[in-house]
Each structure stands twice: as structure tokens, then as C-alpha cells.
Amino acid sequence: MLYLQVVWVYIAGDTFTVADITAFVMCGFIKNLDIHIDDNLPALQKWQQRVAERPAFANA
């Protein structure tokens, strides 16, 4: 199995981009399909928390 070490802060690098917005929205949609991001994906959980804490998302 291939493991990827995540070294970027956001999806496309160290800068918040439209890729992060799209992926964050997708993560919300998959919850409606009963798909959950669990402890097996810690980098994704950290990224999702980081994005959720941004003022524009926190105030939405």
C-alpha cells in the first residue's frame, strides 16, 4: 500500500485556494451519504478542522 506524507497545509500547497473550498464542500456532502471521515485519515481531519476555523467558514 502506498502512503503519502502530507507536507502541505492546504490541498494545493501552502495557500488556501478554490481547491480547498471545493473539497470542504464535498466533505460536507458525503456526510449525507453516510460516509464519515474517521481516525484512519488524520491528515484529512486536521485539514478539515483548519479550514472550518477560517473566519469565512466559521461565520457561515
| pTM of this structure | 0.77
Residue pair 11/17 in contact (Cβ under 8 Å)? The answer is yes
Per-residue pLDDT for 3 more than 60? Answer: no
End-to-end CA distance of the chain: 38
Model confidence at 5, pLDDT cuts 50, 70, 90, reads low
CA 54/CA 4 separation, integer angstroms: 25
pLDDT recorded at residue 35? 87
State pLDDT tens for residues 13-49.
Answer: 889 999 999 999 999 899 889 888 888 888 888 899 9
pLDDT recorded at residue 6? 62
